[in-house]
Amino acid sequence: MHYGTIKNCDIANGPGVRVTLFVSGCTNKCKNCFQPETWDFNYGAPFTEETENQIIEMLRPPYITGLTLLGGEPFEPSNQRALVPFIKRVREFYPDKNIWAFTGFTLERLKTEGDHPNCEVTEEFLSLIDVLVDGRFVEELKSLALRFRGSSNQRLIDMKKTRESGEIVMWEDDPVNF
């Protein structure tokens, strides 16, 4: 896997102050994507153990709320395979920090066997994240008034509550939980 950027102290891609990893590679290719260079799976630098260690160190300060994964597309199967072991490490080091992931795929597609984004690690990946922001960016539904997403079709899914209830539960901005 490659990545385009790592942002430290990001406040735009989830609640609080975050570390954000922009992975490379995306087959969604949304019209007017804000980072079309990340569609290329070889864009940027290789994601190595050194990169993982750098991010884990960036997450150390207590004022860092959590980690956000976006791109490109974290749920491209090749990216999932690289990210799952890394996210498990993050969970071991920082069990109280939250993990958000953005995807152009819907949760329904991610869970559908035989569909492109579903692979042998998808369920594990989904089990490791707290909030999933799903759905393609749609230019015609773009709104600057939306928090943590670009278009109104995108959902902020509380994955813990979704796993517990078996039905999709939207994330509510609750500073007690995040």
Torsion from C-alpha of 26, 30, 31, 36, nearest 10 degrees: -30
pLDDT for residue 75: 98
Scored b (16 or more CB within 10 A) or e, 22-48 reads bbbbbebebeebeeeebbebebbeebe
pTM for the full model?
A: 0.94
pLDDT for residue 172: 87
Segments of the chain with pLDDT less than 50:
176-178
* 46: β partners: 2
What are the sequence ranges of the domains in the chain?
2-165
What's the CA gap between 177 and 169, in Å, rounded? 15
Q: What are the tens digits of pLDDT across the range 111-130?
A: 999 999 999 999 999 999 99
What's the CA gap between 149 and 137, in Å, rounded? 8
pLDDT for residue 33: 81
pLDDT for residue 156: 96
pLDDT for residue 176: 45
- CATH class of residue range 2-165: alpha beta
